[in-house]
Copies of this chain bind each other. A is one copy, B any other.
Amino acid sequence: MVTASQPSAQPREIEFWLDFGSTYSYLSVMRVEDLASKHDIHVSWQPFLLGPIFQSFGWNTSPFVLQKEKGEYVQKDMARLCRKYGIPWKMPTEFPRLGVLPLRIMLVGAGQPWIPEFAQRVMLLNFHLDRDINSREEIVIILTDLGQSVDDVLGQAQSEPIKKRLRDQTDNARARKVFGAPTFFVGEEMFWGNDRLEDALEFAAATKGARVGSQGNPP
């Protein structure tokens, strides 16, 4: 949700809804900040759990597992796209991985400058290093590398308010009819999939009104 309290001071923004277990979210996590900065657009990182959304459709896991043919194709498609984008790729031996801990940390650090790199490191853990993204030990290494106070961040991540916020994020995603990840919103305009990231950014860049408002003095 666009939550700026003063709409007139709202910069151009793209909301990026992601789950760390999602293959195509990986591609967008690695690409979004560079692309958005070229358009001078702010990225609002919105972690949520895809599992409960899939469960609401009657699925007990990823469609890439439920539908064998699609699952096999996705591995080839991901390998090709990673080559194209120049990012590493290894199909995780466990899929989809649950990433509740790092998703909660995304909420602890919401809006802070280390969040995009944290997200990239978690994604690389899953889709490059093939390691458990819900492991306290793995997450500690990343937080330390990023210069964060491990005890403080992990303490907050396990607090009730943050646990509730992640549930609320997921409810919010469902209420806005999110059915997969990554999903982008520009205002209420929804774009689904890494394949639509460029289109979503161009749409945001064309949203002149907010930009003018943010400068206060339309020409």
List A residues at the B interface (Cβ < 8 Å).
57, 67, 69-70, 72-73, 76-77, 80, 84, 177-180, 189-193, 195-196, 199
- CA separation between A191 and B77, bound complex, in Å? 8
Q: How far, in Å, is A146 (CB) from chain B's closest CB? A: 34
List 19 A-B pairs, Cβ < 8 Å.
A57-B67, A67-B179, A69-B177, A69-B178, A69-B179, A70-B179, A70-B180, A72-B177, A73-B177, A73-B179, A73-B190, A76-B189, A77-B191, A77-B192, A77-B196, A80-B199, A84-B199, A193-B195, A195-B195
Whole-angstrom distance between the alpha carbons of A195 and B191 in the complex? 14
Separation in Å of the A85 CB from the closest CB of chain B?
Answer: 12
Beta-carbon nearest neighbor of A183 in chain B:
B73
Please tell me if the beta carbons of A76 and B179 are within 8 angstroms of each other in the complex.
no
Which B residue's beta carbon lies closest to that of A196? B77
Beta-carbon nearest neighbor of A63 in chain B: B63
